[in-house]
A and B are shown apart, each in its own frame.
Chain A
Amino acid sequence: MSDPSHLSERMPAVAHGGQAWTALDQRHLAACADCAAEWAIIRRAAHLGHDATASLDVAGIADRVLGRLRERPAADRRPRPLVRWALVGALAATLALAFVFRPDGPGEGPARLHALLPELEGLDAEEMEAMFEVLPAAPGLPEIGLPGLGELTEDEIESVLRTLEG
């Protein structure tokens, strides 16, 4: 009998034609509803969008991209000075407010701080990183070394996902 986890790992390669099912695999797929359902999803997802993109005008896209690049050839990756100083000012004001209204009791801190930073809720990780990149290090503030998902172990990721997905 085929090992279902091994079968599952090979599904993308088989869907792409890089590998093929053995007779044993095929018998398993015919008998196992769970693996058959997964194979149907992988096969469909692998080819999703082929027809939708068949009509893309690739040469036209290249022409338009090049035309725009001739007008605006290079990105200045640094934030404009006005934007940079606005961000610095906003964060400084927020930190000052957080300091003035800091909670006295234990356990209130995160909720209070959260309420003071509603505009940060809309930012994703990349936008937050970009914002912090342009901010000078504030004297006296400790370095915060928050791990990214990529630094977590498989067990830790599993645990985070279980928490998020319920």
Chain B
Amino acid sequence: MTAPKPADQPSDLSLVAAYRNGDERAAAELVGRHAQALGRFLYASGAAPSDLDDLVQETFFRAFRALDGWRGDAAFRSWLFRIGANLRRDHFRRERGRVVVSLLDHDIPAGADPAQEAVAGESAERLRDELARLPRLQREVFLLRVQEGLDYDAIAVACGTTPGAARVHYHHAVKRLKEFLA
């Protein structure tokens, strides 16, 4: 997975190397490059909007402290997503039982017709609910493919599986979402 960046921008690999050599600006650049995508991934995985800031921060903190664990075979963003997914799961386990009702639907497009807004917000929430019910690997493969546009080879590396298995997981996720949302 590659974050969109101009050709003259340093790669994630070189930013990681720079940070390991003491350049804090390189770490800040990595946060700036990947925070939004990580937040979207966490949100689509079921994280509450009010938790996103903390989860994104914690994911980067853990990632930077464990850079030895990133060998560069998976893209830096994919590796971040795995850490974030683990954190979200642990956070969900701790928070299980607490019912949080969001009063603001962040997926309603501004300025739209109120009736359409309500329908759009409801369908986004339903999609999020159904995504949260998918088996973890299916959900992650689906989101990496649909939100990040990764091909099956890159997803396989990110998720520790094979391209063929990633393809199967993706299509099972689509099938289940269609069954529940159609």
Contacts and interface: CB of A to CB of B under 8 A. Distances in A.
A150 B162 contact: yes
B87 to A, nearest CB: 12
Main secondary structure, interface of B, reads: helix
A45 B143 contact: yes
A46 B145 CA distance: 9
Contacts of A45: 44, 127, 131, 142-143, 146-147, 177
Given A66-B27, A157-B168, A150 B156 contact: yes
Nearest to A50: B40
B43 A58 contact: no
A8, A44, A77, A126: most-surrounded residue (chain B CB, <10 A): A44
B36 A58 contact: yes
Given A37-B182, A41-B174, A150 B161 contact: yes
Nearest to B135: A164
**Most B Cβ at <10 Å: residue of A11, A34, A68, A124:** A68
B114 interface: no
B75 interface: no
Interface residues of B, number: 63
Instruction: Give the most central of B61, B109, B143, B176: most A CB within 10 Å.
Output: B61
B145 to A, nearest CB: 5
A84 interface: no
| Interface size band for A | 35 or more
A102 interface: no
Interface in A116-165: 124, 126, 148-154, 157-158, 161, 164-165
A63 to B, nearest CB: 8
B56 A61 contact: yes
B2 interface: no
B153 interface: no
Q: Which 3 A-B residue pairings sit nearest by Cβ, starting from the closest?
A: A49-B43, A53-B39, A49-B40
Interface of B: 24, 27-28, 31-32, 35-36, 39-44, 49, 52-53, 56-57, 60-62, 64-66, 68-69, 86, 89, 106-109, 123-124, 127-128, 131, 135, 137, 142-143, 145-147, 149, 156, 159-162, 164-165, 167-169, 171-172, 174, 176-178, 181-182
7 contacts: A34-B178, A44-B124, A49-B107, A52-B40, A57-B53, A58-B35, A65-B61
Given A62-B28, A150-B156, 17 more contacts: A38-B174, A38-B178, A42-B146, A44-B124, A45-B147, A49-B42, A50-B107, A52-B40, A52-B49, A52-B106, A59-B32, A62-B27, A65-B61, A72-B65, A75-B66, A150-B162, A154-B167
